[in-house]
Amino acid sequence: MVLQRDADVKIWGWASKGEKVSIHFIGSNYMTTANPNGEWEVMLSDMKAGGPYEMQIEASNSITIKDILIGDVWVCSGQSNMGLSMGSLRDVYKDDIAHMDNPFIRQFFTFPGTNFKEREKDFRFGRWQHADSNSIRGLTAVGYFFAKSLYEKYKIPIGLISVSMGGSSAEAWISEESIKAFPIYREQLQRFKVDGYIERINKQDDERVGHWNRVLKQNDAGYKNPQQTWFDPELNVSDWETMQVPGYWADTKLGNVNGVVWFRKEIDISADLVGEPALIKLGRIVDCDTVFINGKFIGSIGSQYAPRAYKISDEVLKEGKNTIVLRVINYIRKGGFVPGKEYELSAGSGKINLEGEWKFKLGATAEPLEDRLFLGKIPSGLFNAGIAPVLNYKIKGVVWYQGESNTSRAFEHYDLFKLLIKDWRQNWRQGDFPFLYVQLPNFVEVNVERTQYDWAIFRESQLKALVIPNTGMAVTIDVGEYNDIHPKRKKPVGERLALAAQKAAYGEKNIVYSGPIYKSMKTDGNKIILSFTNVGSGLVAKDDKKLNCFEICGIDNKYFPAAAKIE
């Protein structure tokens, strides 16, 4: 546990009404009595950075909390890019993980539920953990690199309260009292308060999705003949078509159909690789895949966003010809293999490139399957279950990485985000504490129309939010991945947030705490001259390359490519 230094810190809990409670901490004793609702609290003050300490709490029972540090506490919240763990990035940050053993960086990890009727008083579960190699599975990567940078700079214990939900929308993190400013969200919330409403939708979704999957499997030609399914390595595939992987089958003569498509490729394995530890990487597949090698089931993943990396048992591969078969299910829009990812099979020290020509055949078509209800997008639910329980906790500030789920409504985001920051500050009752956030990176989703403009408009709204006092923004346009909504380079994101914290939270003045920030524009004949602040020693183009991706839009809302240079 980490408690906030140099502040009045509330310690609270529950007991029988009228029960006396005593707390002993760092040589001081505190006494209080539980109120008629069984709630009690005491205030600790004037605590300097340090530790570890122990706290004894005594009433009808006794609790000892050990290993408490006094330092700075930051709330890390948002959606999946904030929650993405060090464990998920072990291949990217092997060295950082190998040397991760800092007892002065801690994280409280919880995964919130939702509540649309009332604020919850406590988390449904949660635990404090050290930032070490044993905790990487749930340790937020952005938060860790943020904390690491701050600790290395100030040598003060850093505590992270990690409360995020992948796919969540900004409105889900705003209180009911504040979200009323948006009538559409106020009305939506009222529907979800009705008893039985969520249960009815979930039941309908279960029936709809279950029926879709049952019919798809029944119609799948790949399973029609139980004596020879399509993952049989001896299957005659002379009538199968070919396509290039990576790629989307909508770009073949098959067209943009939904349902299940089977893929097949033969590779040769040399004798020296048989029996060696083996792994097959299949990049990202839209939407779901099941993998067979030589007729044996290898694994299956049901989300388009998860990276595909399947371990292969020793007895699967053989010398000579080996047959890889994929059964790919696509629910809606374009299905296939995302370009720019790793498609390879490795065994021992050998690697086989799996890109190129694959055989494929349609197993069955299906009507598009719309998403089922996701409560992380419903107004106020995550505020009530994820933020309300920690409002009594004294903090240094907030680190926020969210927005992907709101890009389709980019034009409203500035007002919504401004409301969220105001809402949290009012509810925490700690003044205008630092609120640091990540500006979304570059990303082009092939399954969403106008993504490039929606995301650009969204980034513009995030830039405008810097007018809100005591905010800071980490620019990440250069560390994203055009083909992955979950870019892996989280270290520079955390480090840039830490620079913003040095300015907003620690009063540093003589630092370049952010990337270039747009200041103004003026026209000069057929030119537009853009000016920026926060340029350090001057604007540069990485690797001395020419400037790309500039466009000019006129009042007719038509975009045209533009040549750009630094002067």
In a structure prediction context, what are the per-residue pLDDT tens digits for the chain, which is 567 residues long? 999 999 999 999 999 999 999 999 999 999 999 999 999 999 999 899 999 999 999 999 999 999 999 999 999 999 999 999 999 999 899 999 999 999 999 999 999 999 999 999 999 999 999 999 888 888 999 999 999 999 999 999 999 999 999 999 999 999 999 999 999 999 999 999 999 999 999 999 999 999 999 999 999 999 999 999 999 999 999 999 999 999 999 999 999 999 999 999 999 999 999 999 999 999 999 999 999 999 999 999 999 988 899 999 999 999 999 999 999 999 999 999 999 999 999 999 899 999 999 999 999 999 999 999 999 999 999 999 999 999 999 999 999 999 999 999 999 999 999 999 999 999 999 999 999 999 999 887 655 444 456 888 999 999 999 999 999 999 999 999 888 999 999 999 999 999 999 999 999 988 888 888 888 999 988 889 999 988 888 998 877 778 887 888 888 988 888 999 998
Report yes or no on 512 lying in a domain: no
Residues 61 and 148 in one domain: yes
- Record the tokens describing residue 58, joined without a space: 């005594």
CA 242 to chain centre: 35
Report yes or no on 371 lying in a domain: no
What is d(CA 15, CA 39) in angstroms, rounded to the nearest whole number? 6
Report yes or no on 510 lying in a domain: no
Contact 123, 110 (CB under 8 A): yes
Residues 302 and 360 in one domain: yes
What is d(CA 3, CA 189) in angstroms, rounded to the nearest whole number? 34
Residues 77 and 30 in one domain: yes
Residues 309 and 361 in one domain: yes
Residues 399 and 448 in one domain: yes
Report yes or no on 213 lying in a domain: no
Query: For residue 557, what pLDDT is reported?
Result: 83
Query: For residue 271, what pLDDT is reported?
Result: 94
Q: How many domains does the chain have?
A: 3
Instruction: Calculate the alpha carbon distances from 38 to 18, 20, 30, 119 in Å.
Output: 7, 11, 18, 17
Query: For residue 449, what pLDDT is reported?
Result: 46
What is d(CA 158, CA 71) in angstroms, rounded to the nearest whole number? 6
Residues 473 and 355 in one domain: no
- Record the tokens describing residue 130, joined without a space: 């050290």
Residues 488 and 524 in one domain: no
Bridge-based pairing of strands 28-33 and 551-553 is unpaired
Report yes or no on 509 lying in a domain: no
Instruction: Calculate the alpha carbon distances from 489 to 79, 89, 477, 486 in Å.
Output: 16, 9, 11, 9
Residues 243 and 165 in one domain: no
Nearest CA-CA partner of 404 in 440, 380, 432: 440
CA 501 to chain centre: 21
Query: For residue 1, what pLDDT is reported?
Result: 96
Residues 234 and 281 in one domain: yes
- Which of 303, 336, 366 corresponds to the end of one domain? 366
- Domain of 543? 517-561
Report yes or no on 372 lying in a domain: no
What is d(CA 2, CA 161) in angstroms, rounded to the nearest whole number? 10
Report yes or no on 242 lying in a domain: yes
Query: For residue 446, what pLDDT is reported?
Result: 57
